[in-house]
């Protein structure tokens, strides 16, 4: 996965996070923003190369700024090097969609590796 694909996926995850926090379905967000729900889904999965114009429509509909939607990596430590950050983002991308049971197993494996 290249950097632009990763950014699309992380921004999509952020849109999904904000949408769910507002208890909106993809259909409801799509209807309010003037998009088909399948487009919203493809944006949230990072499959659609969203334009700034469409990102603006979504952010306005959600009542947040575009910069809020671009804050997908605020939790990443600014003092780590780029290679390490890239590796962490790849790991994050691999596990973000897993269910709680899988995440627990992954956590146990990591704990075993680090102990």
Cα 102 to chain centroid, rounded: 19
So what's the pLDDT on residue 81?
A: 66
Mean pLDDT of 27-46: 97
Question: Quick one: which of 102, 105, 92, 52 has its CA closest to 43?
Answer: 52
- Tell me the percentage of the chain whose pLDDT exceeds 90: 63
Q: Determine whether 73 is exposed, middle or buried from the number of CB atoms within 10 Å of its CB (0-12, 13-18, 19+).
A: middle
Residues 3-69, CATH architecture? Orthogonal Bundle (1.10)
Lookup result for tokens 């694909």: 5
Cα 108 to chain centroid, rounded: 24
The count of other CB atoms within 10 Å of the CB of residue 86 is 13
Q: Where are the domains of the chain?
A: 3-69, 82-114
Q: Give the separation between CA 31 and CA 8, rounded to whole angstroms.
A: 22
- Quote the pTM value: 0.64
Does the pLDDT value for residue 75 go beyond 50?
Answer: no
């Amino acid at each position: 996965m290249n950097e632009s694909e990763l950014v699309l996926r992380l921004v999509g995850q952020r849109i999904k996070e904000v949408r769910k926090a507002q208890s909106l379905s993809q259909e409801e967000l799509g209807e309010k923003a003037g998009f088909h729900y399948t487009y919203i889904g493809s944006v949230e999965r990072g499959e659609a190369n969203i334009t700034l114009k469409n990102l603006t429509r979504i952010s306005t509909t959600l009542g947040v700024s575009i910069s809020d939607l671009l804050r997908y990596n605020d939790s990443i430590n600014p003092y780590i090097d780029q290679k390490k950050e890239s590796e962490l983002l790849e790991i994050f991308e691999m596990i973000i969609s897993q269910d709680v049971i899988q995440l627990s197993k992954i956590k146990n494996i990591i704990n075993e590796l680090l102990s």
